[in-house]
Chains A and B, each alone.
Chain A
Amino acid sequence: MQLTAEKLSELEDVAFQIRRLSVEMIAWGKWGHIGGSFSMAELLSVLYFQVMSVRPTQADWDGRDRLVLSKAHGSPALYAVLALRGYYPVDEVYTYCELGGFEGHTDMTRTPGLEASGGPLGMGLSVAVGMALGMRLKENPRGRIFCILGDGETNEGNVWEAAMSAAHYHLDNLIAVVDYNKVMAKGYVWDEMAIEPFADKWRAFGWDVVEVDGHDLPALADAFHRARWVMPRGKPIVVIAHTVKGKGVEMAEFNYKWHTHAPDPATADAMIRELACAYGRPEQGYSKLGEPEVKEDFYGGE
């Protein structure tokens, strides 16, 4: 499947904006996960601007595709792409981690366009299985359920309970996506808990597997096109997207120290400059962060 030059440019821009907004949110909110937000930027761009059938102005449209972010700490990237897709004004993302604003981990009661709430790892695929069963009970043949998991998240037993049941019920309306960025919170996947042979595990659980470079936009578009329209029916499909944690900013790439870490305003500005230059948009290399805030005096500060 070929992407037009115009489409490719749009998807690239969305991936850039996801990263730029994620840095701003995390710096402004003083908390968040840059590495896991950056590794999903192309995935979310392709899903929301090329693959998924959604109506942002009618978010509860019954025929829509649904996406469950099981690795819910990647919320900044998802909040960004939902804003870019038109679910709410972009400025709303700056309420991230503010009292009464968008939650640190996904809270579907606060953010339009979210299909589930989450936080603890390992739980989202079960929710997606329930949605896929629900679509079947409602005799909705078109809607697809997408579920993005982290690689380290698949250490959780609940993931494999869900995987087993999806195959048992032949849920061919379910597409899991693993953001395989090789880095966990405190170390590398192979050091903390080896998950390979990863594709074989999914196959053994009765899934069809597609492996793809998770930062290659045309390849991603092609993989999702195949998963959705071309591959034989009767099985759930997992797209294993090989990614780089922190992709886009050198200091964060492949570096577990940027799993949970909020940049100070100067670092955030530097990150945004680096991103803007890499994407050939130097005019957008400035953040909305402004002057650093005075720290709150609350029993010694945050």
Chain B
Amino acid sequence: MAANEAVRSAVEMRDAFGQGLVELGRQYPKMITLDADLHTSSKATMFKKAYPERFIQVGIAEQNLFGISAGLALSGFMPFPSTFAVFATRRALDQIAISICFPNLNVKIPGSYVGLPTSRAGASHNCIEDIAVMRALPNMRVADPADAADLRAIMRAAAEVQGPVYFRIARLTMPTIFGADHKFEWGKGVVLREGRDVTLFGTGIMTTFCIKAADLLAADGIAAEVVHLASIKPIDRELVAASAARTGCAVTAENATINGGFGAAVLEVLGEECPVPLRRIGVRDRWADSGGIKELFTHHGMQAEDIAGAAKSVIQAKRGARA
């Protein structure tokens, strides 16, 4: 597994997104990319250059962006309406819910600039609640990729299923975890590292932080299992429950608010299948901020060190419960 090797390379997630759009455009003649005046930021601009006749600009009007996408899907096309995640999931939630999700239309929604890294744009542009909001919608699938290969695989998997998909794109250059042959399956997680003492469940860019946390824990003689769950909905219930049953405690990590998000999704599974001591790493019921990327992750307690600390506390709780 590449995760255990030294970092070989790193790719900007937005570049991977743009390349992914072009790749899908080549494969699917009915694919359309729509934009609300952000294509050079999201890198949807790569698709615009490759397939200008299948690129639709709607201006700064996100509600219209998603309504038009519903209409295109109803005409047999596969639209990718592209904008920042905040504008998709806050401004146009009603359109996504009723025009797209309710009739189960084939619209694939990329949310750009998710979580803390937004190039200092601040709280208004830090999309922290999108996982919670999107996974609450019936018919919607939700995925958060760890690296470029994961994102490209999610985009291919999004095109292969009928129905709405929401996937996240962080504005960050991420080290390579997966090889080019990486496959993504809906409802399937990946064990990146096996361990007996604690499970670190990561999604999106936080999986890289989990791997680093596992290294820190290993130095202290703790064997952490690292499980990457890019598919947040559907979630891999079997793997989540089996890993927690094996290790007896868990930490979740997400580049989003912990309220109703990924950690909550893991908790729902474990609460029903295998209750164990658990702590969630993520934004803790507060607005995010402008600031440098490292500063922000430290400020919100979302660094690898924070994950390792949380792991030690749940291991402590597990031992306390057994004593």
CA distance A158 to B103 in the complex (A): 20
The residues of B that contact A123 with a CB separation of less than 8 Å are 63, 67, 94-95, 98-99
Interface size on A, residues (CB 8 A): 33
Residues of B at the A interface (CB closer than 8 Å) are 32, 54, 56, 58-59, 61, 63-64, 66-77, 79, 94-95, 98-99, 102-104
Q: Are the C-beta atoms of A126 and B66 separated by less than 8 Å?
A: yes
Residues of A at the B interface (CB closer than 8 Å) are 68, 107-109, 115-120, 122-135, 137-138, 157-158, 161-162, 164-165, 168
CB-CB nearest in chain B for A126: B67
Q: Are the C-beta atoms of A134 and B103 separated by less than 8 Å?
A: no
Known: A138-B75, A138-B76. A158 touches B95 (CB 8 A): yes
CA distance A116 to B32 in the complex (A): 19
List 16 interface pairs A-B (beta carbons < 8 Å), by A numbering: A107-B103, A120-B98, A123-B98, A125-B67, A126-B66, A126-B70, A126-B95, A127-B71, A127-B74, A131-B74, A133-B72, A134-B77, A137-B75, A158-B67, A164-B59, A165-B59
The residues of B that contact A131 with a CB separation of less than 8 Å are 71-72, 74-75
Q: A126-B70, A129-B68 are in contact. List 5 more A-B contacts (CB 8 A).
A: A115-B74, A126-B64, A130-B68, A131-B75, A168-B59
Q: Are the C-beta atoms of B72 and A158 separated by less than 8 Å?
A: no
CA distance A149 to B207 in the complex (A): 47
A interface, by DSSP: helix, strand, loop or mixed? Answer: helix
6 nearest interchain CB pairs?
A130-B71, A126-B67, A134-B75, A130-B68, A161-B64, A161-B61
Known: A107-B102, A123-B99. A130 touches B63 (CB 8 A): no
Of the candidates B61, B74, B104, which one forms a contact with A130 in the assembled complex, judged by CB atoms under 8 Å apart? B74
Q: Are the C-beta atoms of B74 and A116 separated by less than 8 Å?
A: yes
Known: A134-B77, A138-B75. A161 touches B103 (CB 8 A): no
The residues of B that contact A137 with a CB separation of less than 8 Å are 32, 54, 72, 75, 77
Most buried by B among A117, A120, A130, A137: A130
Known: A130-B71, A137-B77. A109 touches B64 (CB 8 A): no
